[in-house]
Amino acid sequence: MSIWDPGDDGVVGFPSGRRIRGRPLRRPLPPGPDPDFAVYLLGRRPARTPWEQRWVRWPDFWLPLNEDDAMDALGEAWVRAESERVEIACQGGHSRTGTALACIAIMDGVAPGQAVSYVRQHYGPAVETPWQHWYVRHVARRIK
């Protein structure tokens, strides 16, 4: 098993025991092991990495351009986090990353009305725009 240590920078522990690291791409890679898999939430294609990655086209402060692709990538991240080091990241590490982590929290069983506060408590600033709040509620309806 190759998952994040709970004290690693940006690591969010979910009720199932899965752990996912959120981080800003504009900062250097944190110390410690590299991810096994990452989902990058960006308006432009991310740089290549030595680990497997998926790119979700998601402009800053907005929503993913393809909802099905975003849900598929976040679902893959949630499944793989059971046994792999998974990372979710955007440029600043808050708005898009926090929105994605809130969606994953719902996948993991956190009540939809608590998902944003769960991420804020366990990760930090998250879900910064009204439409991102809407998106978390919308995703909750798709997951149930």
| pLDDT reading at 1 higher than 70 | no
112 inside domain: yes
CATH code of residue 43: 3.90.190.10
Q: ∠42-99-23 over CA atoms, to 5°?
A: 60
Mean pLDDT of the chain: 94
3-state SS, the chain, equals CCCCCCCCCCEEECCCCCEEEEEECCCCCCCCCCCCEEEEEECCCCCCCCCEEEEEECCCCCCCCCHHHHHHHHHHHHHHCCCCCEEEEECCCCHHHHHHHHHHHHHCCCCHHHHHHHHHHHCCCCCCCHHHHHHHHHHHHHHC
110 inside domain: yes
2 inside domain: no
pLDDT in tens, 97-135: 999 999 999 999 999 999 999 999 999 988 888 999 999
**Overall domain count for the chain:** 1
3 inside domain: no
6 inside domain: no
pLDDT for 141: 84
The domain containing residue 40 runs over which residues? 11-143
Q: How confident is the model at residue 144 (pLDDT cuts 50, 70, 90)?
A: low
55 inside domain: yes
122 inside domain: yes
1 inside domain: no
pLDDT in tens, 57-109: 999 888 999 999 999 999 999 999 999 999 999 999 999 999 999 999 999 99
